[in-house]
Structure 1
Amino acid sequence: MLLGEPTGVRSDLPAVRVGEDALDREGLWEAASAVAARLGGASAVAVHGEASLHTVVAVVGGLLAGVPVVPVPADAGTAERRHILRDSGAELWIGPDLDEVGLPRLPVDPAERAPVRSGAEPEPGATALIMYTSGTTGSPKGVLIPRRAVAACLDGLAEAWAWTSRDVLVHGLPLFHVHGLVLGMLGALRTGSPLIHTVRPRPAAYAAAAEAGGTLFFGVPTVWSRIAADPAALRPLSSARLLVSGSAALPEGVARTVREATGRYLVERYGMTETLITLAARADEPPLTGWVGRPIAGVQARIRGERGEEVPADGQSIGHLQMRGATLFDGYLGLPEETAKAWTADGWFSTGDAAVADAEGRYRIVGRTSVDLIKSGGYRVGAGEVEAALLDHPAVREAAVVGEPDDDLGQRIVAYLVGEGIDEKDVIDFVAARLSVHKRPREIRVVEGLPRNAMGKVQKKSLL
């Protein structure tokens, strides 16, 4: 079963706590069964992805019923929400009463109870989730995620991180993305580890959860950066078993601060909507900041050049990251041509990310090939490496590096920085002293803030 009964499930803690609201495992299953009984064989159900028990019960109800769940971002605008609802073919809406929804609204009450559904589990190949891409290259695309992919992803991570029902998972990530919903909610239910969702990923909330017995913490680099800047929040995390960062590159300075204050390393992982999580640093190995580890069980990875040639696994050579294996999606909803273009002739999914690999089989992501692979003066430069160096400068709080057209270089490296007292020459020299000289920014632009999405990822197309 996708959300079956793991061994050793703790009875002294709720299965899920979101803010002040909580449900034990029996209560959650009975509340979700009440939802499942009312879904009536719908083709898909759309769920408003707010951080609440209502969302947890609704998603579990859809999975119990075998009805594909369409998580809708809680911060979606009217046009985006309408597109997702229309494109997904959702027949029911679980969420607030909104004029633009135009679907029958199914109320959810976490206090409602119904007998736990029995009967055959949906086939492993049945669609569990229809999750939408960020839409950076056009309208968001519906990604068809089968039940087998969710199970493979979560089991692979459980093995890599020694994640069991003895853990208590803590995070405050959105319940409409892979990180917060699949890893952070379904992962807790599949492994049997109690979940404490802090509603928002505030440092004080993470600290309080650590003091309450949290052992496994998920966050994006923005969250860890804020925690690193708050000594009172950092100290309690020394009791944690594992701290995990993902969804964007982790600055070395943040990792170092956390490590020095808590004695705990931040481990990183990599994934995307179409693949779920495919690469992860293991809990039983010393992590390398900036490296997202090896393929999890059931997944293969490779790096190829512009013409499909093999790229040396030397820790330096950059190429296109490609994946295949058990965690991958079944295609883009209603877009067969887009689906076909996403795969190579020999059956590998093209992630669109640029990466390097080392001789130990570990991977480092240097960014999206569309905006983060910069070709300057005949060199291929990964924006992520430059950003990591910039973030080690004491005056720099945030950094985004892009390549802009240049008549001489092809592309010149431009850095958008947030910070206090930034001196352009000093920052450029700082990077040149740490990386190869050709990787230094040619221009520095100081800004008040960087455009980010709900997961904290910088939206670089807004800078170009």
Structure 2
Amino acid sequence: MSALFPALRDRSDQPALRFGAETLTYEELARAAGALAVRIMGAGRVAVWATPTAETAVGVVAALLEGVPVVPVNPRTGARELAHILADSAPAVVLAGAGDELPPGLAELPRIDVETRVPHFSPLSAATAFAGGPDDPESPALIVYTSGTTGPPKGVVLSHRAVAASLDALEEAWKWTSEDILVHALPLFHVHGLILGVLGPLRRGGEVRHLGTFSVEGVAGELGDGGGTMLFGVPTMYHRLAEALPHDPALLRALTGARLLVSGSASLPVHDHERITSATGRTVIERYGMTETLMNTSVPVGSDPRPGSVGLPLRGVELRLVEEDGSVLTAHDGETVGEIEVRGPNLFTAYLNRPDATAAAFADGGWFRTGDMAVREPDGYVRIVGRKATDLIKSGGYKIGAGEIENALLDHPEVAEAAVTGEPDPDLGERIVAWVVPTDPTKPPKPDTLAAHVTALLAPHKRPREVRYLKALPRNDMGKILKKALPGPPDA
């Protein structure tokens, strides 16, 4: 297998990374990562204190060059979760910025401060930087921990093969080249921000500009006047951009001039799709992936707007929908709901130290059970309707995905945020409950009004039977709604 970063061999003066005021060319990145790779040579695993900085990017690239598995650590991880991650992954050393204060547990590990400015190559550093990576493409590249919603987080082992296969499939789907300049502000401890958002541009030989923290002004500056061509974000970010567009000419110019706008990690509401496209003429492309599979599908670049769809399977990815008994669904009718199963070179190797969980995650034939529920349109496009554990509602004999009801609710002008869950019902089996953040908290929409609105857009059996009002929905760092953190029923 070729090295993950062939552009490092050229050692050019083309910009590779920009974090705020700091820019590293490919020559400078090669020197910094090569020097660090020498220092971690032979380490079993390294933890990286994954702040949104150039030090994180250099640390990860160095470890991948040397063939040392990387464990990215979320700086906001709680003490109990951090203790579990360290005990489970047993890193030999932690890489961090010189000024970073590490929490207990990490602070006790041998520490190497990452330098981004290394004046010259030593012969050993140069040999390491351009050695071409590990000989075995199946060797672990990263161990990324899941969110742990059903127990302690599991370490997902991602191979060099999986990373390369997923990024190269996106090269084709997004027409991604070395001329592209990617702008984003995503955290660097997960797949979207780190693998797609940093390793992706570096594999293509292009440039990534990280904003540090998200702001409308930052996007307008780097994407517009800065000449950016691509923007990666999550729905919360695109919602804020959509809100700002009517009042921000600089943002309007920036988004209009971008080649590619990509949203992921959760479904982008149709209303935000429509507002951005109406103002800029640009379509926000959605893709579908997860830690265990990296990227599975994407709406192809240049296609017509497909709000609510995550597109078609990427090159090399096989995708099918299955019933609860494992039987394969063949319907492409946009209505029949099944669980997504995938297989291909993008899949993870195993859950670290969890052979039981690894075996349970796969069906016969190497198909990975994603836990995501979806329908397929007649042209093969995939539309996700929710998670099997929290978003599949069985009501009145129907299988209903919470996601499509949430999108319908968000289409109502008096709804700012919405989540949909199912609760036990003696008559229906489960009743549909809508959790709504009103646009105007002093004048929330009436439940009957919202039920009629959903019925008009979808079908009567998909209407909410109960509406509960909140000031805000609980969300994680990526903006995903945490449904298990919603309050219980009023009489619970």
Please classify the TM superposition score into its range, dividing by the shorter chain length.
over 0.9
Contact 1:93 1:104 in 2 (8 A): yes
The C-alpha deviation readout for 1:324-381, integer Å capped at 9, x for no partner, is 0010000100100110000002320000110111222210111110000100111111
The C-alpha deviation readout for 1:362-407, integer Å capped at 9, x for no partner, is 1011111000010011111100000000111111111111111111
**Structure 2 residue matching 1:200: 3-state secondary structure:** coil
Q: 1:223 maps to which residue?
A: 237
Contact 2:263 2:284 in 1 (8 A): yes
Q: 2:301 maps to which residue?
A: 283
Q: Which amino acid aligns with 1:292?
A: V
Contact 2:232 2:263 in 1 (8 A): yes
**Structure 2 residue matching 1:111: 3-state secondary structure:** coil
Paired residue for 1:103, among 94, 103, 109? 109
Measured on the aligned residues, the alpha-carbon RMSD in Å equals 1.6
Q: Which amino acid aligns with 1:435?
A: L
> How far 1:447 sits from its partner (Å)?
0.4
The C-alpha deviation readout for 1:235-265, integer Å capped at 9, x for no partner, is 4210001101110011111001100111100
**Structure 1 residue matching 2:113: 3-state secondary structure:** coil
Q: 2:165 maps to which residue?
A: 152
Contact 1:6 1:165 in 2 (8 A): no
Q: Does 1:369 align with 2:388?
A: yes
Q: 2:47 maps to which residue?
A: 46
- Runs (5+) with no aligned partner, structure 1: none
Q: 2:482 maps to which residue?
A: 459
1:20-35 to 2 correspondence within 5 Å? 20-35=21-36
Of 346-355 and 413-422, deviating more is 413-422
Q: 1:417 maps to which residue?
A: 436
Q: Under a length normalisation based on structure 2, what TM-score does the superposition of the two structures give?
A: 0.92
Contact 1:234 1:258 in 2 (8 A): no
Change in 2 beyond 3 A, CA 1:121/1:72: same
Cα distance in 1 for residues equivalent to 2:349 and 2:361: 11
Q: Which amino acid aligns with 2:273?
A: A
Contact 2:137 2:160 in 1 (8 A): yes
Cα distance in 2 for residues equivalent to 1:284 and 1:165: 19
1:201-350 to 2 correspondence within 5 Å? 201-211=214-224, 212-231=226-245, 232=248, 233-311=251-329, 312-350=331-369
1:438-449 to 2 correspondence within 5 Å? 438-449=461-472
Q: 1:14 maps to which residue?
A: 15
Change in 2 beyond 3 A, CA 1:241/1:9: farther
Cα distance in 2 for residues equivalent to 1:451 and 1:2: 41
> How far 1:12 sits from its partner (Å)?
7.2
Cα distance in 2 for residues equivalent to 1:195 and 1:329: 25
1:185-196 to 2 correspondence within 5 Å? 185-196=198-209
The C-alpha deviation readout for 1:205-258, integer Å capped at 9, x for no partner, is 111112210111100010000000002133421000110111001111100110
Q: Does 1:178 align with 2:191?
A: yes
Q: Does 1:383 align with 2:402?
A: yes
Percent identical: 49
Q: Which amino acid aligns with 1:99?
A: P
Q: 1:138 maps to which residue?
A: 151
Q: 1:64 maps to which residue?
A: 65
Contact 1:5 1:190 in 2 (8 A): yes
- Which structure 1 residue ranges, 4+ long, deviate > 4 Å from structure 2? 6-13
1:396-411 to 2 correspondence within 5 Å? 396-411=415-430
Of 427-436 and 116-125, deviating more is 116-125
> How far 1:11 sits from its partner (Å)?
6.3
Cα distance in 2 for residues equivalent to 1:359 and 1:453: 34
Contact 2:391 2:403 in 1 (8 A): yes
Contact 2:343 2:367 in 1 (8 A): yes
> How far 1:284 sits from its partner (Å)?
2.9
Change in 2 beyond 3 A, CA 1:92/1:161: same
Q: 2:81 maps to which residue?
A: 80
Of 180-189 and 392-401, deviating more is 392-401
Of 116-125 and 171-180, deviating more is 116-125
Cα distance in 1 for residues equivalent to 2:281 and 2:223: 14
Q: Does 1:161 align with 2:183?
A: no
Change in 2 beyond 3 A, CA 1:106/1:308: same
Q: Under a length normalisation based on structure 1, what TM-score does the superposition of the two structures give?
A: 0.97
Q: 1:37 maps to which residue?
A: 38
Contact 1:9 1:166 in 2 (8 A): no
